[in-house]
Structure 1
Amino acid sequence: MSKLEKWQILNSKMVLDNPWCQVRQDEVKLPNGQIIDDYFVNIRPDIVLVLPITASREIIFVRQYRHGAENFFIELPAGRFDPTQESPEDAGMRELQEETGYVAQELRKIATLYDNPSKDNNQIHLYLAENVIKTGEQKLDITEEIEVILIPVESVLEKIAQGEISVSGSIAALLLGLKFITD
C-alpha cells in the first residue's frame, strides 16, 4: 500500500477564462504541510489522435504549422473534443475525415495517456484505424492549412530517429500502435 498522499486544494480560482485557453490558480497544501498559493493548472480539452493505415500499409500523416513552436510538423490526425458532447471514437472519425478526407470503418483503442499531468488536466485518446480509404476532400477550420502525407509503415521508425516526426503524441501512438499491426 502506497503512503503517497494527494495534495489538498484549499482555494481555487480561474485566472484566465478564454474559450481557447483556461488557467486555474490553486492554493494547495502538500502532504508535508507546506502551502503553495500559486500552483497553476492548464484546463485543456481532451484530445483524440488517430493512427490511420491504408490497405497498402501506408500511414496517413498531416503536415502543418504549429505556432507555439513556430515550425512545421508531421503528425497523425488529431483534434480536441468535449467528452460531454461526443465520444472519443466519434471525435476520431470526425477529425480523420476533416483533416485528411480519409474515413475508417472502425477505430480500435490503443491507449489513453496524459501528456503533461503536472500542469495539464486533459487526456489524449489514441486509436488505430486500419484499411482507411479516401472518400472526399478535407474540411478544414479557418486556422488550419494541412498537407496530407502518406508514409510507408516500414519507414516510420527511421523518420522518428531522424527527427522528421517529433511530436510526442504521434510518436506514442506510432510506437504503441505498430505493435497491433505487426502482431
Structure 2
Amino acid sequence: MRKLMIKPWTILESHQTFRDSFLSVRTDRCQREDGHVVPTYHVLEFTEWVTMIPVTDDGNLVLIREYRHAGGVVLLGLPGGVMDTGEADREAAGRRELREETGYTAREMIPVGTCFPNPAVQNNRLHYYLATGCTKTHAQSLDANEEIEVLEMPYADFLAYEGLDVQHALHAAALFYTERFFSKHPGKRP
C-alpha cells in the first residue's frame, strides 16, 4: 500500500462562531500544502464522549430506549454521554453516565476502543468501555432533558444489529470494538 503524503492544513484564521454549554462551533480559514485556500471550514467542538457496553452476569446487555430529536427517532441503544468540562478520568465518566442513565453499576470497566465520531466536522473522540458484572444499584438520575427507559436484552440479540428498526452508527462501532475484544478474550464473552 502506497503511503500518501497528505499533510494537515495550516489554519490561517480561526474564530468561534457559536458557544454554549454543550458545543462550540469554530470557523477556520485554512491553507492546504499545495497552496489552495479553504475559505470557510466549520468545526463542531465537543468534549470527549464515553459509551458503555454494559453486561450483567447473566449475559444480558443493559440498554436504553430514548427519543433522539435530531433524527426524530426513538432509539434502542447503549448508555453513554459527554465527559463534563474538566473531567479527565474516562472510566469514572463512564461509570457516572452508566449510573445516571440506568441506575446500574459495573464491577469492571474494560476499555475496548476509541474512535473519532465524525472527524470531518467534529474534533472529539469517543471512548468505549465493556462494563461487566453490571447490577442495578441506584435509581436513575437523569438530566432535565433526558427521558430514558432501561431494559435488558441478551447480548446475542443486540449483536444481530441489522434486525433493529433504527440503528445508531456509533453503537454499531461499539459492537465492532466489543467483538474484536471478545475474539482476543473469548472467556469474557457473555
Q: CA RMSD in A?
A: 1.5
Report the equivalent of 1:140.
142
- Structure 1 residue 41: Cα displacement: 0.4
Q: 1:68-87 to 2 correspondence within 5 Å? A: 68-82=70-84, 84-87=86-89
The match for 2:68 is 66
Q: Could you say if the C-alpha distance between residues 36 and 181 of structure 1 is closer, same or farther in structure 2, counting changes exceeding 3 Å?
A: closer
* In structure 1, C-alpha distance between the alignment counterparts of 2:156 and 2:148, rounded to whole Å: 23
1:164 to 1:55, Cα distance in 2 relative to 1, 3 A: farther
Q: How many residues align?
A: 182
Q: Which amino acid aligns with 2:69?
A: H
Q: Which runs of 5+ in 2 are unaligned?
A: none
CA deviation after TM superposition for structure 1 residue 21, in Å: 2.9
2:39 alignment counterpart:
37
Question: Residues 25 and 41 of structure 1 are in contact (CA less than 8 Å); yes or no, is this contact kept in structure 2?
Answer: yes
1:174 paired to 2:175: yes
Contact 1:46 1:83 in 2 (8 A): no
Q: Residue 155 in 1 paired to residue 154 in 2?
A: no
1:103 is aligned, of 102, 105, 109, to 105
Partner residue, 2:13: 11
Amino acid in structure 2 at the alignment position of 1:113? C
Letter in structure 2 aligned against 1:161:
E
CA distance in 2, matches of 1:53, 1:178: 13
Report the TM-score, using the length of structure 1 for normalisation. 0.93
Residue range with higher mean Cα deviation, 81-90 or 168-177: 81-90
Asked if 1:94 is matched to 2:96, the reply is yes
Q: TM-score by structure 2 length?
A: 0.90
How far apart, CA to CA, are the structure 1 residues paired with 2:122 and 2:181? 29
Secondary structure, aligned partner of 1:62: strand
Opposite residue 78 of structure 1, the aligned amino acid is G
Structure 1 distance, partners of 2:22, 2:109, is: 28
Question: Quick one: distance in 2 between partners of 1:165 and 1:90?
Answer: 29
Does the 8 Å CA contact 1:75/1:165 hold for their aligned counterparts?
Answer: no
Q: Percent of aligned pairs with the same residue?
A: 32
CA distance in 2, matches of 1:83, 1:16: 17
AA aligned opposite 1:170 = H
Unmatched 5+ residue regions in structure 1?
A: none
Report the Cα offset of residue 81 of structure 1: 0.7
